[in-house]
Structure 1
Amino acid sequence: MELRQLRYFLTVAEEASFTRAAARLHVAQPGVSAQIRSLERELGQPLLDRSARAVRLTEAGAAVLPYARAALAAVEDVRTAVDELTGLLRGKVAVGMVAGSAALGVPEVLAAFHDAHPGVEVTLTEADTDPMLDALRAGRLDVAIAAFAGAAPDGIETRTLSDQPLVAAVGEGDPLAGRRGVTLAELGDRALIGMRPGTAMRAILDAACAAEGVAPRIAFEAGNPQVLGDLAARGLGVAILPESTARARPDLRVVPVTVPPMRGRVALAWRAEGPNGPAARAFIEHARARLATPPE
């Protein structure tokens, strides 16, 4: 039994797919399949059910999974113990972030961490909050910069990086330009430009509309706040944006939404039980110290 076989098995189990596992491991899919078959022959039991579209654990696979995870963690602990003696920090840190959060200083934080710890491999992916939280809980991500419509779910610790109103943003020639405020009800007959469903900002907007009895007319959806601003600047509707994003653009006019007020929060998030290893712990402390924080 080889550690490589256990690592491949664990990755396929987490991804529920040989294809995604191979991409994550940066190896060819046939190699992943061959190693897992070799492990199954050695154990005398199939560990994965390949009959469905998504790969699933068999009963034997579910029994083996925690031991495979523990064995790989023990090997990492051995490496860590030696690195600590020699003053080195090694390992991997998987970071996720929602679109638009780079403005909080994420690239600078990543660069500074790399300079301080060149032996640590850091990866960054962009995704919506819900799949990132699932990845955090499953151990596929170590830390995430996520947007929240409310409190963080159980098992997730957060540190708020930004907490600000969501506003209406329009182009210079829009009838709302120059208004000191607008209610959500007044926007009911306007073409709205909002984040796609599944994002925290869209959840905030949908909840506010439901509370006010407003049926919003979402004319355009996107996954990046800057794209929403581009559309609004060209007169295609009213974008719902974080205030700082809207005010940073000279081609937009900001109109506060007075009733009901809406706020969005972006936070650094990690597992409450702690990250997988010392590299991830070091990154979280580094990010907490360096990322932007909301004004008092």
Structure 2
Amino acid sequence: MELRQLEYFVAVAEEAGFTRAAARLHVAQPGVSAQIRQLERELGEPLFDRSGRGARLTAVGEAVLPYARAALAAVSGMRQVADEFTGLLRGRVVMGGVATPSVLDLPGMLAAFHERHPAVEISLVESGSGQLLDGVVTGRFDLGLLGLGGPLPPGLGVQVVVDQALVAVVHRGHELAGARSIRVAELKGLPLISLPPGTGLRAALEEVCGRAGFAPHVAFEAGEPYVLGQLAARGLGVAVLPESAVAGAESELHVLAVVEPELRGRMGVVWRADGQTSPAARAFIEHARRHLPDLAE
């Protein structure tokens, strides 16, 4: 039994598929499959049910997964202890993030950390806020950069890095194009264009509309804020998006402030404040918090 086999086994279990695990590990998919089959032969039992789409753990797979994770953690701990004697920080950190405003300079933050700790491998994964939050809670991500909506699960730390107004935008020929603002209550029944569920913007929109006594009618969804504006420019509805996402499209769009109450969108970095983290992860979290803004509420 080799550590590589255990690493591949854990990756396939967490990704629920051989192809996604291979992409995460930066290896060819046949190699992952071959190592898992070898591990199954050594254990004498199948670890995955391959009958459907993806790969689901069998009962045996579920039972041995904690031991595989513990073995990998023990080896990582041995390396970390040895590295502490040489002053070298090594390991792997995983950051999950959504599309971010350029003002945050995320590439600069990552480059500065790599320059300081070249032996630490950094992985950046893009996903929705809901999946990112779950990934931080379960330990898949060491740090998440995501939209903030409702309350966070216990045991997490958060630093707000973006706090900006959310605005409503329509095309220049829309009946609302003559107004400067729109009350939240006036959004009722309008065909809205929004980010999908699980994002901080969508959570903020649903929360403020719920307080006004109605559920928003979202006619179109898109995963990128700038696409929301493009849909509105084609006359498909009223887009709700961050104020910064309108920049450069004012010739096609009319912007309305959302009032009574004001609608705001927040983004933050989130990490596990409780539980064990590797030295590399701790250093990365501290570096990110120093580099990124800290907007006190």
**8 Å CA contact 1:100, 1:226 repeated in 2:** no
Q: Distance in 1 between matches of 2:140 and 2:250?
A: 39
Structure 1 letter corresponding to 2:6:
L
Q: In structure 2, what is the equivalent of residue 262 of structure 1?
A: 263
**Using the alignment, how far apart are the partners of 2:9 and 2:112 within structure 1?**
34
Counterparts of 1:293 and 1:235, CA distance in 2 = 38
Q: TM-score, normalised by structure 2?
A: 0.86
Written as runs of structure 1 = structure 2, the 5 A alignment for 1:268-279 is 268-274=269-275, 276-279=277-280
CA distance in 2, matches of 1:105, 1:172: 32
Q: CA deviation at 1:5?
A: 1.1
* Alignment partners' CA distance in 2, 1:161 and 1:275: 24
* Matched length: 296
Q: Which amino acid aligns with 1:158?
A: V
C-alpha contact (below 8 Å) 2:150/2:203 kept by paired residues: no
**Percent of aligned pairs with the same amino acid:** 57
> Shift in Å at residue 171 of structure 1?
5.2
Provide the rounded CA distance (Å) in 2 between the counterparts of 1:144 and 1:275: 17
Does the 8 Å CA contact 1:142/1:270 hold for their aligned counterparts?
A: yes
Between 104-113 and 174-183, the greater mean CA deviation after superposition: 174-183
CA distance in 1, matches of 2:51, 2:171: 54
Gap runs ≥5 in structure 1: none
Tell whether the 8 Å contact from 2:160 to 2:296 is kept in structure 1 after alignment: no
Match runs of 1:150-161 below 5 Å: 150-161=150-161
State whether residues 46 and 60 of structure 2, in contact with CA within 8 Å, keep that contact through their aligned partners in structure 1: yes
- Distance in 1 separating the partners of 2:113 and 2:68: 30
After the TM superposition, which of the residue ranges 71-80 and 280-289 deviates more from structure 2?
71-80
Stretches of structure 2 that go unaligned for 5 or more consecutive residues are: none
Residues 195 and 224, structure 1, Cα contact 8 Å, conserved in 2 = yes
AA aligned to 1:48 is F
TM-score norm. by structure 1 comes to 0.87
Whole-Å separation in 1 of the counterparts to 2:49 and 2:204: 40
Structure 2 distance, partners of 1:194, 1:76, is: 43
1:162–1:266 CA contact under 8 A, matched in 2: yes
Query: For residues 229 and 5 of structure 1, do their structure 2 counterparts lie closer, same or farther at Cα, with a shift above 3 Å needed?
Result: same
Contact 1:13 1:57 in 2 (8 A): yes
CA distance in 2, matches of 1:83, 1:134: 31
Is this contact kept in 2: 1:165–1:264, CA < 8 A?
A: yes
Cα RMSD of the aligned pairs, angstroms, is: 2.7
**AA matched with 1:259:** E
